Structure 1
Amino acid sequence: MRPFEPVLYPFALLYDGITRLRNKLFDIGSKRSVVFEIPTVVVGNLALGGTGKTPMVEFIIERLSQHYEIATLSRGYGRKTTGVILADQEASAQNIGDEPFQIFTKYGEKVHVAVGEQRIMAIPQIIMEHPSTDLILLDDAFQHRYIKGDFNILLTTFQKPFFEDKVVPLGTLREHRKGAGRAQAVVVTKCPKDLSEEKKKWYKENIKKYTAPGTPVLFAGLKYGEPYEIQPNGRVLGKDVILLTGIADTKVLKESLKGQYNLKHALEFADHHKYTEEDAGKISKAFQAYGGEGTVILTTEKDMVKLKDRKFAQLLEEIPIFAIPVKVDFDHKDETLLMDMVQKSIIEKGYKREV
């Protein structure tokens, strides 16, 4: 036990009680969950911080967008606007949030991207403006019980699984571990490539203490793609990189870079960090201090969409900045099982098209 835990315990107990009561009211029907005619798939987690929700949403988009007209809906964390917004050519990280803007930047021609604090109000607006939409992906909506998802995917990281975590402020859980019982599938994310079957069995045994009978536990790693230059200037990516991040956890990313790149320096900001001109100065100083012939700044796609703001135009011209894409990496068996279950949930709503 950490020395300060006894001080936090009463607050954790109070928070746990409030969230349990809220969930109980939904379970018994005192609080109402709305079921929409259009199929809805929820991607979420029990914990605060990064569990890989955006890569999972992108994974589903890539698997299903050729067969279904998809819309994504999230709260739009960190945006400077309020209300329901459907992304268009005026969209930016400032008005819809960094992760929705990342999805819009990558898949805007394939999907409709919407944000709204009150998702229950946003879905009718999506349908009104895009009536041919036949699947909505609800990003980070596991605790948003005013909408009853048709299929709930719960993510938990290999590094900090929910069964070893505690509710805030003692830990990072938004609700008690028993909330996992609402999931139709649990995916352990950010798994190492050499994960043994014995270790998988141990994770499954611990997770299934909290899930409904028959709920599958799947495993996925992260696969980093070929970095690309944010502002194409014909520069070449070499071995020497300065890492620039504003994400929840950099451990997995750093580990993946070890064998391929020479990490000269890491400039790390908090998750969802809003970059400023002052930050641009820090980036420039870091490049001057640690850069050299062939050195580039390597960042995530989540950070990239914020750095493309006009106020950083000069920085992008002067300093070679590359973004590294990340994708969910399932083995074939787990990927097939998950997508078959998602497909089944869509068909059960009356959408008969086979994938």
Structure 2
Amino acid sequence: MPSLLAVLLLPFAWLYAGVMAVRNWLYDTGLKASASFPVPIISVGNLRVGGTGKTPHVAWVVRELLAQGEKPAVLSRGYGRRTRGYRLAGATDTAATLGDEPLQHYQDSGASVPVAVCEDRRAGVAQILDNKLDITNVVLDDAYQHRRVRPALSILLTEQQRPFYRDYVLPAGRLRESRRGARRADVVVVTKCAPGLPDDAQRAIAARVRRYARPGVPVLFSTYAYGAPVPVTSASALVGKEIVLLTGIAQPGPLREYLLAAGYQITHHVAFADHHVFSAADIAAVAAQCRAGQCVFTTQKDAARLLAPELAAAIAQLPIFYIPIDVQFLADGAARLQQMLTSLFQPQAVV
């Protein structure tokens, strides 16, 4: 049931949903144009604002495409950057010039995968192709509502604990458009699931999703696998199980739960909003909470922003580690999504 505040905001949500519905109708009927491109476009996005796991799922898609012998490029809006327009990632870029998530993609690939940012995804894809980069496809990060580009494969993410079918449109809830937007998805991935989510629970969730998705659209389930702590600074040395947690992401809950289950004691959690731009004062506040023998744990996305040149002196003496995240699919989800990616590059039969 919605809260009292959500109920009071519902008229504004209906208005916003109506505007989005008209916009989608214009694209669905062709009155507004969606561009196609000579290479497959793969879109990864969500209906909800923030926190569904787009970054690690984009990384999974990129790794799978590379494993299949394809040459992907990644295009993102570059949320939180201080630059404008099209920008192709390079060795001197930081989170300030590129955005934390694109910078993470660039670093994950060892600079072997082209990563670009552009507010206008259609212009961004066109620029990537004009640059004559050696690519065979483009992966769009967080572009589900960017209707000016027509994807060959649209992957919709929704959290198990915060599914779109239990949410409401802004400002009454956190949805960017109505639940009916799920009909554009070619596959729906329910993210951040418990690794042992029972089959009957999966079927129940899938049934709720299919009330809004197109008939026959696969509903897959994924979970997070956390890796060993990775040092961020030269001062990083693991000592004990007492840690200070530093986060600037939308949903730090799953990370907290993992760390506690792994036997860590979180003596203090310094939590900022998603994409928070860290300052030297923020780092000083974290350092003040870090007792002798303790380490600071953070996320990989936050680490990208902590490594900003202007913070180098502030973090130099702090033992900071990030916890890497890998996406794993339940049941045969990985194989099914792999096949959907493979089919994008198979020759189409001529009728």
User: TM-score w.r.t. structure 2 length?
Assistant: 0.95
Provide the C-alpha distance between the structure 2 equivalents of 1:148 and 1:175, rounded to a whole number of angstroms.
18
Q: Is the 8 A contact 2:220 2:330 kept in 1?
A: no
Matches within 5 A, 1:32-181: 32-66=33-67, 67-181=69-183
Per the alignment, in what secondary structure is the counterpart of residue 306 of structure 1? helix
Per the alignment, in what secondary structure is the counterpart of residue 154 of structure 2? strand
Per the alignment, in what secondary structure is the counterpart of residue 188 of structure 1? strand
Unaligned runs of 5+ in 1: 351-355
Percentage identity across aligned positions?
A: 38
Determine the structure 1 residue equivalent to 2:312: 313
Provide the C-alpha distance between the structure 1 equivalents of 2:295 and 2:151, rounded to a whole number of angstroms.
43
Q: Is the 8 A contact 2:247 2:298 kept in 1?
A: yes
Provide the C-alpha distance between the structure 2 equivalents of 1:152 and 1:237, rounded to a whole number of angstroms.
44
**Amino acid of the structure 2 residue aligned with 1:282:** A
Provide the C-alpha distance between the structure 2 equivalents of 1:87 and 1:136, rounded to a whole number of angstroms.
15
| Residue 8 of structure 1, CA deviation | 1.1
| Residue 331 of structure 1, CA deviation | 3.0
**Amino acid of the structure 2 residue aligned with 1:247:** I
Say if 1:242 and 1:343 are closer, same or farther in 2 by CA, change over 3 A.
same
Provide the C-alpha distance between the structure 1 equivalents of 2:70 and 2:281, rounded to a whole number of angstroms.
43
Q: Is the 8 A contact 1:230 1:316 kept in 2?
A: no
Alignment partner of 1:191 out of 187, 190, 193: 193
Q: Is the 8 A contact 2:7 2:172 kept in 1?
A: no
Say if 1:216 and 1:231 are closer, same or farther in 2 by CA, change over 3 A.
same
Per the alignment, in what secondary structure is the counterpart of residue 114 of structure 2? strand
**Amino acid of the structure 2 residue aligned with 1:95:** T
Determine the structure 2 residue equivalent to 1:245: 247
| Residue 348 of structure 1, CA deviation | 5.0
- Could you list the runs of 4 or more consecutive aligned residues of structure 1 that deviate by over 3 angstroms after TM superposition? none
Determine the structure 1 residue equivalent to 2:215: 213
Say if 1:197 and 1:327 are closer, same or farther in 2 by CA, change over 3 A.
same
**Amino acid of the structure 1 residue aligned with 2:292:** G
Provide the C-alpha distance between the structure 1 equivalents of 2:139 and 2:239, rounded to a whole number of angstroms.
35
Provide the C-alpha distance between the structure 2 equivalents of 1:54 and 1:334, rounded to a whole number of angstroms.
18
Q: Is the 8 A contact 1:71 1:135 kept in 2?
A: yes
Q: Does 1:335 align with 2:334?
A: yes
Between 200-209 and 250-259, the greater mean CA deviation after superposition: 250-259
Provide the C-alpha distance between the structure 2 equivalents of 1:101 and 1:198, rounded to a whole number of angstroms.
39
Provide the C-alpha distance between the structure 2 equivalents of 1:26 and 1:126, rounded to a whole number of angstroms.
24
Q: Does 1:284 align with 2:287?
A: yes
Q: Deviations over 1:157-184 (max 9, x none)?
A: 0010000011011110101111101111
Determine the structure 1 residue equivalent to 2:271: 268
| Residue 312 of structure 1, CA deviation | 1.8
**Amino acid of the structure 2 residue aligned with 1:286:** Q
| Residue 124 of structure 1, CA deviation | 1.8
| Residue 130 of structure 1, CA deviation | 3.6
Q: Is the 8 A contact 1:284 1:315 kept in 2?
A: no
| Residue 38 of structure 1, CA deviation | 0.6
Say if 1:18 and 1:324 are closer, same or farther in 2 by CA, change over 3 A.
same
Per the alignment, in what secondary structure is the counterpart of residue 21 of structure 1? helix
Q: Deviations over 1:70-112 (max 9, x none)?
A: 1000100011111000001121100110100111112143210
Provide the C-alpha distance between the structure 2 equivalents of 1:181 and 1:99, rounded to a whole number of angstroms.
27
Provide the C-alpha distance between the structure 1 equivalents of 2:163 and 2:239, rounded to a whole number of angstroms.
35
Per the alignment, in what secondary structure is the counterpart of residue 261 of structure 2? coil
| Residue 259 of structure 1, CA deviation | 2.2
Determine the structure 2 residue equivalent to 1:353: none
Per the alignment, in what secondary structure is the counterpart of residue 171 of structure 1? coil
Provide the C-alpha distance between the structure 1 equivalents of 2:346 and 2:25, rounded to a whole number of angstroms.
30
| Residue 133 of structure 1, CA deviation | 0.9
Provide the C-alpha distance between the structure 1 equivalents of 2:129 and 2:315, rounded to a whole number of angstroms.
38
Provide the C-alpha distance between the structure 2 equivalents of 1:136 and 1:36, rounded to a whole number of angstroms.
10
Provide the C-alpha distance between the structure 1 equivalents of 2:239 and 2:116, rounded to a whole number of angstroms.
34
| Residue 233 of structure 1, CA deviation | 4.1
Provide the C-alpha distance between the structure 2 equivalents of 1:189 and 1:237, rounded to a whole number of angstroms.
32
Matches within 5 A, 1:21-40: 21-40=22-41
Unaligned runs of 5+ in 2: none
Q: Is the 8 A contact 2:75 2:121 kept in 1?
A: yes
User: TM-score w.r.t. structure 1 length?
Assistant: 0.94
The alignment yields a C-alpha RMSD, in angstroms, of 1.5
**Amino acid of the structure 1 residue aligned with 2:47:** L
Provide the C-alpha distance between the structure 2 equivalents of 1:50 and 1:257, rounded to a whole number of angstroms.
18
Provide the C-alpha distance between the structure 2 equivalents of 1:262 and 1:318, rounded to a whole number of angstroms.
22
Provide the C-alpha distance between the structure 2 equivalents of 1:186 and 1:24, rounded to a whole number of angstroms.
21
Provide the C-alpha distance between the structure 2 equivalents of 1:167 and 1:110, rounded to a whole number of angstroms.
39
Q: Deviations over 1:199-229 (max 9, x none)?
A: 1111011000111111000000111111111
| Residue 327 of structure 1, CA deviation | 1.1
